[in-house]
Structure 1
Amino acid sequence: MECFTASEIDEIDRLWRRLPIEHMWTGWATAGEAPEQVWIFRTRAHWRRFPLTKTVRGYVLSDEHGRRVFRAPTLADLLQAVEAVPGLDAVVQD
């Protein structure tokens, strides 16, 4: 896994802050100066946490069980992933 840079963390924060208050992406969290993982929190009927990791080819969003469910070349594409889960049935191979 690759580490997230400070500018990537700032971009995640900017993306999240631009969303309307009622959006399903309810927050995010990470730990450390150069984290290998960011947790995306979302809710519809109940709270869910999705790990976001960085790879050489982009970003991967996984479900609660560690299965890769979405791969995105940019962080801006992350919003599509957050909105698409739980509708995804297939696991993405990286």
Structure 2
Amino acid sequence: ECRAQFLRCRDALEHFIEQNTSIAIEFSAAGCEANARTKTILADVERILVRRLNFLISFGSNGTPCDRELNTAGDPRSWETMVNVCNRLVANNTSDHPRIS
């Protein structure tokens, strides 16, 4: 079910937030401010996605199919967009995390 897939993606993103925040601190301590900023921005984007996933998880929990519920035509925050963004982030951070279908 898509709710379980969103939960897995959210958990992965929360892990990536911790990693990227830690790496940003290390870059900053080493004087690599451009790299630190990049990792900080990535962690901020992941935080936004986690908030959106939390909304979708609660919105999609009433038993109806998530794809019908969440895929609003023209809505940039639709199911398909979230799946694509999550898969890209997962692919960029790890190769062994399951993709969302």
Fold shared per TM-score above 0.5 = no
Compare relative contact order (CA 8 Å, sep 6+) and give the higher one, 1 or 2. Answer: 2
Say which structure is richer in helix.
Answer: 2
TM-score if structure 1 supplies the norm length? Answer: 0.34
Larger Rg: 2
TM-score if structure 2 supplies the norm length? Answer: 0.32
Say which structure is richer in strand.
Answer: 1
